[in-house]
């Protein structure tokens, strides 16, 4: 198995006595240490209007991390395409890919939080159509060396050549989040890598990996275990009281996300999970308990785990030293280096129903 990071940083608001940049700078240091501990990647979220100071300018923060690291892959999980000018975004991603010498993993989604769409004054009903049009534009921007034009429903461009070119060819690897069987099939059809969310049960993870592997094989392509990333929250704890407190904090955080997600009419309330599921999906507990959960995930086909660590750098060290050594690169010859699949049909976009990790 291989391990990367997944998560966000926070910049607190306050008066002149509050340094809002501390959280972001500490997050950069956290990533630098993660690279030294052997983690292979970092995937950052994009969120807006939470009041928590979460990462909103994801590529900016990743650029700073890129300057401080040398091997860490730089992922987005995910950038919400409906909110961005696709040509400007293609240029920004290409710039980061060049500066990092080809370390970008581009995770994309169509968004799922009602509060964010409301803040941008954008109907959620447009999200899917905007996503697909933007993806078509971005892939064309990265793969066209001659001037091209696009006249779509939401975007129009005339005789443009996007620069700079990307370091990775034909473009940075694409990642998509998906949960339903049909959306996973579409991700496979597009030749993209698959992101699985941190609140899914182990059984759901195994089922989704099996669907993806079958669809990849049906299209005559070899399945790369590193083309599926499973996000999990990890927390090495030693006492029942610590475990209970950590689970309570996790449940409270998920409920906060739910409030940001659910529409006023409650139409998407089905996304709300039970307290038991929220607690069980996390890798919390003693090193032995966490190792057992990782064994179960591995048995279900998970080989690439992106961890979010509420315990910060100290917690990440404990996981790296006390749990991870038993799982590093245990897959034998099938465990290739981190080389995610690239789209074998650049310029195409399907109808994946994207549900990014929270």
- Predicted confidence (pLDDT) per residue in 186-214, tens digit: 899 989 999 999 999 999 999 999 999 99
Tens-place pLDDT, residues 240-291: 999 999 999 999 988 888 787 777 777 666 556 788 889 989 999 999 999 9
Q: How confident is the model at residue 328 (pLDDT cuts 50, 70, 90)?
A: confident
Distance between CA atoms of 149 and 157, rounded to whole angstroms? 5
- Torsional class of 101: left (φ above 0), alpha (ψ -120 to 50), beta (otherwise): left
Q: What is the pLDDT of residues 290-327, one digit of tens each?
A: 999 999 999 999 999 999 999 999 999 999 999 999 99
Averaged over 139-153, what is the pLDDT? 97
| Residue 9 domain flag | yes
pLDDT, residue 68, reads: 98
- Domain-embedded: residue 340: no
DSSP symbol at 332 = G
Q: Is residue 354 part of a domain?
A: no
C-alpha distances (whole Å) from 97 to each of 94, 163, 173, 193, 303 are 5, 12, 11, 18, 25
Q: What average pLDDT does this structure show over 8-35?
A: 90
The pLDDT assigned to 257 comes to: 80
210 assigned to some structural domain: yes
Q: Does 220 score more than 60 pLDDT?
A: yes
Q: Do the domain assignments include residue 222?
A: yes
Does any domain span residue 339? no
Cα separations in angstroms, 278 against 48, 52, 124, 202, 274:
23, 21, 26, 12, 6
- Report how far residue 126's alpha carbon sits from residue 123's, in angstroms, rounded to the nearest whole number: 6
What SS3 string covers 158-204?
EEECCCCCCCCCCCCCEEEECCCHHHHHHHHHCCCEEEECCCCCHHH
Res 5: pLDDT: 98
Range of the domain at 248: 2-334
Pairing between β-strand 228-236 and β-strand 156-160 as defined by DSSP bridges: unpaired
Domains contained in the chain, number: 1
Identify whether 292 is part of a domain.
yes
Per-residue pLDDT tens digits for 124-137: 999 999 999 999 99
The CA radius of gyration of the chain, in Å to the nearest whole number, is 20
CA distance 2 to 234: 14
What pLDDT does 261 receive?
77
Q: What CATH number corresponds to the domain at position 161?
A: 3.20.20.30
Kindly report the pTM of this predicted structure: 0.89
Mean pLDDT of the residues in the chain: 89
Distance CA 177, CA 164 (A): 27
């Amino acid at each position: 198995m291989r391990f990367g990071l997944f998560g966000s940083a926070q910049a607190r608001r306050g008066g002149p006595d509050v340094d809002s940049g501390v959280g972001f700078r500490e997050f950069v240091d956290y990533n630098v240490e993660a690279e030294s501990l052997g983690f292979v990647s970092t995937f950052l979220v994009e969120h807006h209007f939470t009041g928590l100071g979460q990462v909103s300018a994801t590529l900016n923060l990743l650029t700073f991390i890129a300057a401080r690291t040398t091997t860490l892959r730089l992922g987005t999980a995910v950038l919400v395409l409906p909110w961005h000018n696709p040509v400007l975004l293609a240029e920004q991603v290409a710039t980061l890919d060049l500066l990092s010498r080809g370390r970008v993993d581009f995770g994309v989604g169509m968004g799922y939080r009602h509060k964010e769409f409301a803040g941008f004054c954008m109907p959620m009903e447009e999200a899917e159509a905007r996503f697909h049009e933007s993806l078509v534009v971005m892939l064309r921007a990265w793969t066209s060396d001659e001037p091209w034009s696009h006249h779509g429903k939401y975007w129009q461009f005339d005789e443009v050549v996007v620069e700079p070119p990307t370091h990775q060819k034909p473009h940075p690897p694409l990642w998509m989040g998906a949960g339903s069987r049909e959306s996973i099939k579409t991700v496979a059809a597009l030749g993209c890598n698959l992101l699985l969310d941190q609140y899914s049960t182990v059984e759901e993870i195994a089922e989704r990996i099996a669907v993806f592997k079958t669809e990849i094989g049906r299209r005559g392509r070899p399945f790369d275990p590193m083309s599926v990333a499973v996000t999990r929250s990890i927390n090495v704890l030693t006492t029942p009281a610590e475990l209970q407190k950590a689970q309570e904090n996790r449940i409270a955080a998920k409920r906060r996300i739910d409030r940001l997600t659910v529409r006023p009419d409650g139409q998407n309330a089905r996304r709300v999970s039970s307290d038991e599921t929220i607690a069980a999906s996390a890798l919390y507990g003693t090193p032995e308990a966490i190792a057992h959960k990782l064994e179960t995930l591995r048995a279900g086909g998970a080989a690439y785990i992106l961890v979010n660590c509420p315990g910060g750098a100290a917690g990440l060290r404990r996981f790296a030293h006390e749990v991870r050594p038993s799982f590093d690169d245990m897959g034998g010859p099938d465990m290739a280096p981190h080389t995610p699949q690239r789209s074998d049909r650049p310029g195409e976009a399907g109808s994946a129903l994207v549900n990014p990790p929270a």
